[in-house]
Amino acid sequence: MEHYPIRLGLTLWSHNQWQQSFYGKGTKPAERLAKYAQVFSTVEGNTTFYATPSAQTVLNWRDATPDHFRFTFKLPKAITHDQLLKNSRGELLNFLKVMEPLSEKVGQWTIQLPATFGFEDLERLKQFCHSFPKAFNLGVEVRNPAFFAKGEAETTLNSWMIDQEINRVIMDSRPVFAAAPTSEAVIDAHQKKPRVPVHALATAKRPMIRFIGHPEMEANNAFFAPWLTKLPLWIKQGIEPYLMIHTPDNVLAPELAVQLYTQLNKHMDNKVMLPGLAPFPADDHQSQFDLF
């Protein structure tokens, strides 16, 4: 699998309000993924959290993306939230069978767990992860407060993940919670997004950072500042971070991703420069680095 210094992406590839700003006016919905993959090297596949796609849809996703592109798909919530991983091996194998044509383009399979999944359930998670082929890269996102308290629960979780080379998904929701709840999008984000401490620990080679941005673009710079030290260090160590950028309504998520990536590139060691980003398809006459 091709190694990138860092993979930059968003939480979705299809957004109606990107039609003129990102894709270009004449782009059809079925063409959006291909246009997205011209700029970004990964995407957080939330769609599989809500429903397993059809076999044809999986083939369409495969054919729309270049060989170097990597998806990160969430496991269905029927497995992670409804069943809490109990008696779910059959459902998991069925899901993986449907997704199999895309297996070479999956950078990480994400197991997102609800806040009710606590330390007492950890053994179930361990057994569940044994159901995956050894070569599969896994990421686990926990939301139970015990896993952020730096006590036995978190120490045990982290040690197991390091031993098994499983990535711990890192949620950075500080920016969005710093925003005043004056818009519907921010209010919705405050209600649905987890407000957990940022524990920037790479338990394996592909840590995923979910950066949920402030609606005011410039306000994100202060929150991203610590990552300008951490990410270059990881990259120097041969770690391949996945940086996923959100905003409350995701309207300006592509622009925020470019803004933060440009800042990161300026903080890189001269020996390890980041690849340039292609222009947005709607505005392909200049490099995106020229915009900032």
* Chain segment 133-175, per-residue pLDDT in tens: 888 999 999 999 999 999 999 999 999 999 999 999 999 999 9
Q: Report, as an integer, the average pLDDT of 76-97.
A: 95
Tell me what pLDDT residue 1 has. 56
**What is the count of structural domains for the chain?**
1
- Whether 292 shows a pLDDT value over 80: the answer reads no
Please provide the DSSP assignment of 242-292 as one string: EEEEE-SS-TTHHHHHHHHHHHHHHTS-TTSPPPPPPPPGGGTTS-GGGG-
Rounded distance, CA 27 to CA 234, Å? 37
Determine, yes or no, domain membership for 167: yes
pLDDT in tens, 25-50: 889 999 999 999 999 999 998 899 99
pLDDT in tens, 90-135: 999 999 999 999 999 999 999 999 999 999 999 999 999 998 988 8
Distances from the Cα of 92 to the Cα of 73, 76, 96, 133, angstroms: 13, 8, 6, 12
Q: Report, as an integer, the average pLDDT of 276-280.
A: 93
Tell me what pLDDT residue 254 has. 97
Q: Which residue has the higher pLDDT, 71 or 271?
A: 71
Work out the pLDDT band at 286, boundaries 50, 70, 90: very low
Work out the pLDDT band at 269, boundaries 50, 70, 90: confident
Determine, yes or no, domain membership for 1: no
Domain that holds residue 278: 7-291
- Whether 266 shows a pLDDT value over 50: the answer reads yes
The pLDDT > 70 percentage for the chain reads 96
Minimum mean pLDDT among 59-68, 85-94, 271-280: which range? 271-280
Pairing relationship of beta strands 42-45 and 7-10 according to DSSP bridges: parallel
Tell me what pLDDT residue 14 has. 96
Residues 6+ apart with CB under 8 A from 234: 202, 207, 241
Among candidates 87, 141, 142, 139, which has minimal Cα distance to 119? 142
Among candidates 81, 145, 146, which has minimal Cα distance to 114? 81
Rounded distance, CA 8 to CA 242, Å? 6
- Whether 290 shows a pLDDT value over 60: the answer reads no
- DSSP 8-state code for residue 23: I
Q: Is the full-model pTM beyond 0.85?
A: yes
Tell me what pLDDT residue 283 has. 80
Q: Report, as an integer, the average pLDDT of 193-217.
A: 96
Work out the pLDDT band at 72, boundaries 50, 70, 90: very high
Determine, yes or no, domain membership for 133: yes
Burial track 37-74 (b if 16+ CB lie within 10 A, e otherwise): bbbbbbbbbebbbeebbeeeebeebbebbeeebbbbbb
Tell me what pLDDT residue 42 has. 97
What CATH number did the domain enclosing 103 receive? 3.20.20.410
Determine, yes or no, domain membership for 58: yes
Tell me what pLDDT residue 140 has. 98
CA dihedral 247, 249, 255, 261 (to 10 degrees): 20
The pLDDT > 90 percentage for the chain reads 89
Q: Which residue has the higher pLDDT, 222 or 272?
A: 222
